[in-house]
Chain A
Amino acid sequence: MNAAIEAEGLTKTFGSDVRALNGVSFSVEKGTVLGLLGPNGAGKTTTVRVLTTTLVPDDGWARVNGLDVVKDANKVRASIGLAGQYAAVDENLTGRENLRMVGQLFQLSRKDANRVADELLEHFDLTEAAQRPAKTYSGGMRRRLDIAAALVVRPPVLFLDEPTTGLDPNSRNSVWQIVEDLVASGTTVLLTTQYLEEADRLADNIVVVDRGAVIAEGTPAKLKSTLGETVLDLGFPDPASANSASKLFVGSWPAPPVIDGSMLELPIDSGPSQVMTALRVLDDAGMAPSSMTLREPSLDDVFLSLTGRRTELEEAQS
């Protein structure tokens, strides 16, 4: 049995008609990272809540570390950590008091809880803020404290619910680094995210959820190849020059270029070096684009290609 997390046919309806989960199944191998990807309201948090025992599913079952999340809930709780948008830190307590409290509630002695708290604070660069109430912390510090609180017993399985939502790029990077370090030390991680980039960077496997159901799964590479690609947009002064520029690539470029008005779109499938190649080809021909953008496939592109519709957020905006 190598799965750290197994979910089978999870169903959950809130009230009489809000179907949050509609038969979600997946499994996560030990020591790997699963990215649960989807827009707001897709069922990501509901899935995490079922797996972390705070919500009982209407139907289906789930096991974490081989333990049933309903029947063996308390044993599951002893072997998991939870951090993210829903599991908060206490703002009135200091960083140290928060971690000590969680440690004691994991049945550590007060002495052990204090020791672990101090070590975690140091590890997460929070020692200087250790004696300050958490309400004085920045968003990034708070998130680090939150993750530290999920690690007091070094759980073999960690759940991170949108760990970087609302963080600035620097803090986001440090959270990513923390997750990578944990995985390197053998922790199994399930993280939910709205960002394809985040899932791509951290996850070994991605499960895409929408309206309470799994609509795609696979490795990031596999998903990206089927779901969308990076495109280099090159702008030219007029359609004619875009057209002549495209002739430089027809036949020689791995994927056919597309002309959209005065814009030339070149698919990129092997990273930045391919961008340099494109620029070199243009330079050799004495042509210079007037604008240039590298466009990564977004979650929205993924959704568009999987469901034929945009995410709710985009729908609301358009």
Chain B
Amino acid sequence: MTTSVLPQAATPMKRSKLRRSVSDSLVVTERNLVAYLRIPDQLFFSSVQPIMFVLLFRFVFGGAIATPGMSYVNFLMAGIFVQTVLFGSVSTSVGLAEDLQKGLIERFRSLPMARSAVLFGRTIADSVRNVFVMILITLVGFAVGFRIGTSFGLYLVAFALLILFAFSFSWIFAYIGLSASNSETAQLMAFPILFPLTFASTAFVPASSMPPWLRWFAEHQPVSITVNATRALMQGGPGANTAHWVILTLIWSAIFMAIFIPLAVWRYRRVG
């Protein structure tokens, strides 16, 4: 069965630590994106859910929710965008839990690659996926009456801000994925975190309709802040306070990354 001689060994390139981390991360990113393309039904069904939410809130609940200053569909879409990219981070934890289960992490850990690369490769690939889902949801939004009230440039700023916030948020899920005993558990563990943050927020209803204790939480938690920033960037209007919300969103993103990147990498080194 051995029909030829074993190949000549190729010489590894000498790279700085940083170059190596970047190139390793990109190799793993490519691998994850190829997997997304190979299982298109997964991509399809993960887009169905946010589309359902758009239709549900636009046509079922929307008529009952009063939003001062703008039409409900324009109010809603900022919340849908945030919800969509945040729910996308579930695939970060599920993907890592699957790699762990299948022994791929074990192989990666035995390779002379950067310890952070498997995690960056995952979170970057999920960010790329988020870009596609965001474009899709924007189109669906346009179809049901969503309009940008400011400018296309500010819409793009909001887009970039959301991708960044979701990227930082997905590190929480990277940590969860490496801590879960299997991918099903990783998926289940996501909802107690995602549901309160997305629904007890300003994403779908104004916080003013909530009881005081919940209202305080809904007005101050990071998902609401990001929703407010997105809404301000896309719809503007008097009292939008855009810069305030954008800066707060950036601060929250920085906090998530500062805590959860080191924590997830620490977990990766010790996993198994």
Residues of chain A touching chain B, judged by Cβ–Cβ distance below 8 Å, are: 49, 52-55, 74-75, 77-78, 80, 82, 85-88, 90-93, 97, 101-109, 112-113, 115-116, 119-120, 122-125, 133, 149, 151, 153-154, 174, 177-178, 181-182, 185
**Contact pick for B10, options A103, A125, A178, CB 8 Å:** A103
Given A101-B27, A125-B3, A177-B1, decide whether A54 and B110 contact each other with a Cβ distance below 8 A.
Answer: yes
Q: How far is the CA of A75 from the CA of B112 in the complex (A)?
A: 7
A81 CB, nearest partner CB in chain B, Å? 9
Q: 9 other contacts beyond A88-B102, A115-B10, A124-B2, with CB at 8 A cut-off?
A: A49-B106, A80-B110, A101-B27, A103-B10, A105-B111, A112-B11, A119-B4, A123-B4, A153-B12
**Which residues of B are interface residues toward A (Cβ below 8 A)?**
1-13, 15, 20, 23-24, 27-28, 30-31, 34-35, 38-39, 102-104, 106-113, 117, 272
Q: Distance in Å from the Cβ of B6 to the closest Cβ of chain A?
A: 6
Majority DSSP secondary structure for residues of B touching A: loop
B252 to chain A, nearest CB (A): 33
Query: Do B35 and A92 have beta carbons less than 8 Å apart?
Result: yes
Indicate if the CB atoms of B106 and A54 lie closer than 8 Å: yes
Give Cα distance in the complex from A120 to B8, angstroms.
Answer: 10
What residues of chain A lie closer than 8 Å to B110, measured between beta carbons? Answer: 52-54, 77, 80, 82, 87
Q: Is A122 in contact with B4, judged by CB distance below 8 angstroms? A: yes
Pull 24 A–B residue pairs with CB atoms less than 8 Å apart, ordered by A. Answer: A74-B112, A75-B112, A77-B111, A77-B112, A78-B12, A82-B107, A85-B103, A87-B103, A87-B110, A90-B104, A105-B113, A106-B12, A107-B12, A112-B11, A116-B10, A119-B7, A122-B4, A123-B2, A125-B1, A125-B2, A149-B107, A151-B6, A154-B6, A177-B1
Cβ distance A111 to chain B, nearest Cβ, rounded Å = 9
Chain A residues within an 8 Å CB radius of B35: 90, 92-93
- Known contacts A82-B110, A87-B106; is-contact A107 B7 (Cβ 8 Å): no
Contacting pair A53 B9 (CB below 8 A): no
Given contacts A78-B12, A101-B31, A104-B27, contact A88 B6 (CB under 8 A): no
Give the interface centre of B38, B102, B111, B113 by most chain A CB atoms within 10 Å: B111
A85, A88, A113 — most chain B CB neighbours (10 Å): A88
Query: A182 — which chain B residues lie within 8 A by C-beta?
Result: 6
Enumerate chain B residues within 8 angstroms of A149, measured Cβ to Cβ: 107
User: With A74-B112, A78-B112, A93-B31 in contact, is A108–B13 under 8 Å at CB?
Assistant: yes
Expressed in whole angstroms, the minimum distance between the Cβ of B124 and any Cβ of chain A is: 15
Which chain B residues lie closer than 8 Å to A125 at the CB level?
1-3
Tell me the nearest residue of chain B to A159, going by C-beta.
B110
The reply to whether A102 and B4 form a contact with Cβ atoms under 8 Å apart is no
Instruction: Decide: B272 and A54 in contact? CB cutoff 8 A.
Output: yes
A123 touches B7 (CB 8 A): yes
Report yes or no: B107 in contact with A87, Cβ–Cβ below 8 A: yes
A291 to chain B, nearest CB (A): 36
Measured CB to CB, the closest approach of chain B to A137, in angstroms, equals 14
Q: Is the CB of A116 within 8 A of B109?
A: no
Instruction: Determine the chain B residues whose CB is within 8 A of the CB of A107 once the complex forms.
Output: 12-13, 15, 20, 112
